[in-house]
Structure 1
Amino acid sequence: MPEIVELLASPVHRFEGRPADGPAPAPEGELVEEIRIRAGLGIVGDRYFAHPAHRDASITVIARESLPDGAGLAQVRRNILIAGLDVDALVGSVLSLDSGSGPVRLRVRRPANPCAWMDVVIGPGAWRALRRRGGVRCVPLDDGVLRVGPVLAEVLPDA
């Protein structure tokens, strides 16, 4: 069974400027045990919540299997780290996740391509290694809650 390994809801964007300058400090409490999702808006408390430029891709999901050992959401800045599911193959479908509070459907719109920051925050070569494995950008179709732990995942055709 797939598992939600980590959840991130960060109020700030940490990767601004040049990668050589390093990221801004992480705000306390950005890695959380649960997230509240609003249909069409994103994750409550996240930097992209209700942001017009990101409504089409307000939630990002990445597979644990895509990351090198020791890397997590704090480095890649995705919202949901899930193990046991090849999320990169889901573009054009709807991913339904239920961690115990009812299903939350996410329309998987496009790849979340990695950037040069990956070589700084994970290590040299990470940017190339994550190409085509950087996760996906999604639009939430339902209000709901997701929690860290086992998750019932279902892939539905895009309606």
Structure 2
Amino acid sequence: MSTAVEVVALHVSPVHAYEGRPADGPRPDPGPVSRDHVVVRAGLGLVGDRYFNHPAHRTAAVTVFAVEALEHVADGLGLSTVPGPLVVRRNVVLRGFDVDGLDRDAVFTLDTGDGPVRFRTHRPANPCGWMNAVIAPGAMRALRGRGGKRCVPLDDGLLRLGPATLTA
């Protein structure tokens, strides 16, 4: 089944900004983390990301997230604005598809215009206590079951911001 989606954010960071205690605040990122495109390598992840070719994360090197989860958080917590899509630190943020509804080991394809890139889901990307610090108190609980999926890329390719087709 093919679905028209939108890639609303792409995030690649060489370091983990949410380390230590949430009360101390996140580390500053060493450079731009928001991208207009990312290079995907089969079995390795996103070029330039901290989990690229990291043995412990081979089956979970890319995180995919639905921006609608942030809209749910904003509604549920009574926030005046929806948090920006990069605050959750997921690599690929989509609009228009229930990412959390994908089963473990499901294969889906994302095509942003440069050819299809297949991913295999591995496990949920569970939210952590940092969400309460960077979004609002209660955000971690509001994101339970809506934190996205950790995936392994099965193809080399390129993903871009904007309209895309997701086939699941």
TM-score bracket, shorter-length normalisation: over 0.9
Deviation, 1:138, is: 0.2
Task: Name the SS of the counterpart of 2:128 in structure 1.
Answer: coil
- Report how many aligned residue pairs link the two structures: 155
In structure 2, how many angstroms separate the alpha carbons of the residues matched to 1:123 and 1:98? 33
Deviation, 1:88, is: 0.2
Task: Name the SS of the counterpart of 2:133 in structure 1.
Answer: helix
Deviation, 1:130, is: 0.2
CA contact (8 A) 1:65 1:83 kept: yes
- Measured on the aligned residues, the alpha-carbon RMSD in Å equals 1.0
The residue that corresponds to 1:103 in the other structure is 116
When the two structures are superposed, what TM-score results if normalisation uses the length of structure 1? 0.94
Q: Structure 1: any 5+ residue segments left out of the alignment? A: none
The residue that corresponds to 1:48 in the other structure is 51
Which one of the candidate residues 138, 142, 145 is aligned to 2:151?
138
Deviation, 1:73, is: 3.9
In structure 1, how many angstroms separate the alpha carbons of the residues matched to 2:41 and 2:93? 19
When the two structures are superposed, what TM-score results if normalisation uses the length of structure 2? 0.89
Which one of the candidate residues 51, 54, 65 is aligned to 2:68?
65
Correspondence 1:84 to 2:96: yes
Deviation, 1:72, is: 3.0
Residue identity matched to 1:53? A
The residue that corresponds to 1:31 in the other structure is 34
In structure 2, how many angstroms separate the alpha carbons of the residues matched to 1:60 and 1:99? 17
Q: Percent identity?
A: 58
**134 and 153 in structure 1: CA distance in 2 versus 1, 3 angstrom threshold:** same
In structure 2, how many angstroms separate the alpha carbons of the residues matched to 1:63 and 1:35? 18
CA contact (8 A) 1:91 1:136 kept: no
Q: Structure 2: any 5+ residue segments left out of the alignment? A: 75-80
In structure 2, how many angstroms separate the alpha carbons of the residues matched to 1:105 and 1:72? 26
